[in-house]
Chain A
Amino acid sequence: MSTEAVPQQLPEHKDLVIEQLVIWYFLAALAYLIISMLGGFLMALQLVDHNPLRGIEVLSPGRWRMIHTNAIAYGFLANAFLGALHWVVPRLTLRQVASRALSYFTFAAWQVVVLSTAVGIMLGEAQGLEWGETPTWIDPLAQLGLLLVAINFLTPIVQTRGPMYVTLWYFTAAFIWTFLTYAMGNFVPEYFVSGTSAGAVGGLFIHDLVGLFVTPLGWGLMYFFVPILLQKPIWSHGLSLVGFWGLAFFYPLTGIHHFLYTPIPMFLQHGAVISTIAVEMVVLTVIINFFGTLVGTGQAFMKNLPIRWFYTGMVYYFLTCLQCAMQTTMTFQALIHFSDWVVGHAHLVMFGVFSMWLQGIMTYLFPRLFKHEWYSKTLCEWHYWLSAIGLLVMATDLTLAGVFQGYWWASLQPWEVSTEGSFPFWMVRIYAGLAMFIGQIIFVYNICMTWQLSRRAAVPATIAA
């Protein structure tokens, strides 16, 4: 953000943003989202004993479960974030990315990384690290890709002068953190450390991937899009910076809360519990800030679809963090660790929060990218309601299932009691997942039709803000 008054000759939007690339990134992201949901669906069918594709090696549910998580993290989230970044960063810094050629190259390279990850996992070459199953021979390539992305976006960011807007703080941090986190998670436990302390590093990795890659990018985008859509600045910029620095200071130690009651020393586990609760306080400041911004313009929540996506995501975020503050305590952990509660929590974060935000962003940006209104606003509404309600049902269902499973295990009943008892929960989960899946299919169909209309229209139609 430049300190002086806005320069007279403002760069043109079309010179800043490579719209073609944004579209490509979003489409790639949606393709991986569909693939990932198919993988999750396969695993869900296996659990209720209705897997139609039994005994086929490359379609083994165990392998597709890994594709499910990796396609979401690296296929959907990373691609959608990169697409949004290609829109936001140049507009915010008033400078192009370091190199357009590099942008196109990164796009191609990243798809190669994600696809070869998927193929590697399908062939049974996975690495034994949650969220890091990328086969070891792809890791250096992915690392290089992250470096290129960081260079490409950091170049315009460091050229800005004067106090930075909070979004840029988050982005700068995210580029550096993601690079370091990926290196830490994929190389340290594989080559340097073994045993329990590798477990500690693995715990740091799975959590930092959420906290230091997805969270800062997500909040950064929210701090950009929410004020624009509401047409008023964020409630308090100072408070938003408190949120940023709080995240930076408290996040690094929280990861071990994934492995409470392991042979990792209790001292560290307690540290992780405390810093997790500190992070919840930080989260609270961010939530307060956004709802402070909404005050007075609450109607937008009903009328403005992207705003509804964003704030629904924030409500889910608050729920997630509430859940997190509870489940990180030792008392709760004893009961719900290893159960479906954890699975429900993961879906609430990954789909309920970050996917919701990204889909809100896509709902906002696609008409601008195609220079044409949505083919059908009704279908957009269906997309929203199916996703939001499907997710709510799934998260509630799995959370409950987790509590039941925890008690079944602790009461020393035969193991079958826990799998048979989970059956109704797993059944409900399938239908909830199906609703979410149909929502995404509707969205993709809507995009296709909008694209066709935009090609047919000789004169660009009017876009309602």
Chain B
Amino acid sequence: MFESKSGVLLIAGLFFFALAFVSNAVVPMVMYRHLPEKTALQVVNGNVRYQFEDLARRYPEPFKQAFGSPPAGEAEEQAWWNEKCAEALKVGRKVYVGEGCWHCHSQFIRPVSNEDRRWGPVSRTEEYQNELQRPVMFGTRRVGPDLCREGGRRSNDWHAVHFFEPKRLSVGSPMPEYPWLFEGSPEKPNLKGLALMTYVQWLGSWLECYPDHEQYEESPTKALTLTEAK
């Protein structure tokens, strides 16, 4: 095989395949040295910390069961909150993936179809360069709305009730119930429930314009008459 000219072509062909495959993984790694992937701990920010501590205040007992209590000492306590928040983000993402949330909710805003007006700024590359986007959660179908600007829009107890039984809050929503994220009632979320809420509150929390709100105006003409009346 090696001595003939055609054998060289065969070997070269297969070699190029292998090279294409290897470069698929290696080239991005080499290329992104200047843009290292952030760990879960690094993406914890003030906004999501606030929501996480809010969970601890709203659901003290379930929270204690899931994450324990903070240690004494200012520095230790701060480190503990960050650490637990990162842990919650990781677990929350696992639940998000495992329940197939991403099959009905996308996580990117396109520059077309008025999406930036509905949800907020168009997605940028840097937003996806972290551990919680491995594999990336772009999604392919939107039965429910996009979630990548969801953080902070709604309160934690809204999310708790909504996960427990979506119909109580969104009439006619086709979203399924997730009672196994709770111990019987929306007041008692378990570890998975708390983590998923932290994850959802994290989405978009890194943006300056956080939180984004959908601009629901009844009708443009009505708004116009209101401003004229003033």
Contact = CB atoms under 8 A, between A and B. Distances in A.
Note whether A and B contact each other (Cβ less than 8 A): yes
Contact of A195 (B104, B106, B110, B130): B130
Given A66-B100, A342-B140, A410-B113, A61 B135 contact: no
Nearest to B164: A55
B102 A197 contact: no
A126 interface: yes
B158 interface: no
B98 A195 contact: no
A343 B141 contact: yes
Contact of B140 (A130, A190, A195, A261): A130
Contacts of B24: 184, 188, 201
B29 interface: yes
B177 interface: yes
A193 B176 contact: no
Interface of A is mostly: helix
Interface stretch (A6-14, A44-52, A272-280, A291-299): A44-52
B213 interface: no
A195 B133 contact: yes
Chain A contact patch, size range = 35 or more
B176 A415 contact: no
B37 interface: yes
Contacts of A410: 113-114
Contacts of A193: 25, 28-29
A302 interface: no
Interface SS of chain B: helix, strand, loop or mixed?
loop
Interface in A377-416: 406, 409-412, 414-416
B174 A49 contact: yes
B136 A196 contact: yes
A194 B131 contact: yes
Given A262-B108, A338-B141, A194 B113 contact: no
Nearest to A120: B98
Given A194-B136, A202-B136, A416-B172, A125 B98 contact: yes
Interface string B166-197: 00001111101111100000000000000000
Interface of B: 17, 21, 24-26, 28-29, 32, 37, 95, 97-104, 106, 108, 110-115, 117-118, 123-125, 127-131, 133-145, 170-174, 176-180, 216
Given A184-B24, A195-B134, A409-B113, 10 more contacts: A55-B179, A180-B17, A188-B25, A189-B135, A190-B134, A192-B28, A195-B32, A259-B138, A340-B141, A410-B113
Interface of A: 46-49, 51, 54-55, 57, 60-63, 65-66, 124-130, 176, 180, 183-184, 187-190, 192-199, 201-202, 258-259, 261-263, 333-335, 337-340, 342-343, 406, 409-412, 414-416, 419-420
